[in-house]
Amino acid sequence: MIDLCLVPYEEKTVLSNLIQLYRYDSSEFDGHVLTDHGFYLYKYLDHQWTDEYRRPFIVKVDGEIAGFALVSLDVPKQNMKLSSAEKTNTIGDFFIMRKYRRKGVGKEVAESLFDQFRGTWEIRQTIGNKNAYAFWKKIITNYKSDNSYQEKLIQNESWNGPVFVFQS
């Protein structure tokens, strides 16, 4: 059974630890480096609980931690690069532990988020992360079987990579 639950502030350390695994996994694509103390920095950790539009979710499979999704809901238009909607939902970071990959966990979590928070979605991937691109392309293509989504490659000072925009 797959559960998607908000992370309470009291469990911030759990999310912080998962972010370390996520940053390690993605460091070959995004260039993140360890600090002198052996940690990856993530400057938006506290923002998950202080910014009203952010929602940190933990993913569990049969009660075991399996990953996380950091979601922003109803982000104002001026913060978006592609969507022309007044407000847009985004997935800032999405991580499924290797043990649970290719078993439908990520698909179920993504579709659950899309269904739970209806509206315009914008999903971005780092340009070099071919696996993330393939994952999101498959998820969104299946979710939007009528192919009513946009896909663009953005390369500028604020973003370098593919972006999907669609309605859920």
Instruction: Tell me: pLDDT of 82 over 90.
Output: no
> How many CB atoms within 10 Å of residue 9?
11
> How many CB atoms within 10 Å of residue 86?
11
Which residue ranges form the domains of the chain, and what is each CATH number? 2-167 (3.40.630.30)
Question: pLDDT tens digits, residue range 46-71?
Answer: 999 999 999 999 999 999 999 999 99
The separation between the first and the last C-alpha atoms of the chain, rounded to the nearest angstrom, is 24
Question: pLDDT tens digits, residue range 29-48?
Answer: 888 899 999 999 999 999 99
pLDDT confidence tier of residue 164, bands split at 50, 70 and 90? very high
Residues, the chain = 168
Q: What percent of the chain has pLDDT over 70?
A: 96
Angle between helix 130-143 and 105-116 (nearest 10)? 50
Instruction: Tell me: pLDDT of 80 over 70.
Output: no
> Could you tell me the sign of the dihedral formed by the alpha carbons of 49, 13, 126, 38, in that order?
positive
Instruction: Tell me: pLDDT of 144 over 90.
Output: yes
In Å, how far are 9, 68, 96, 149 from 110, measured between CA atoms? 23, 11, 11, 16
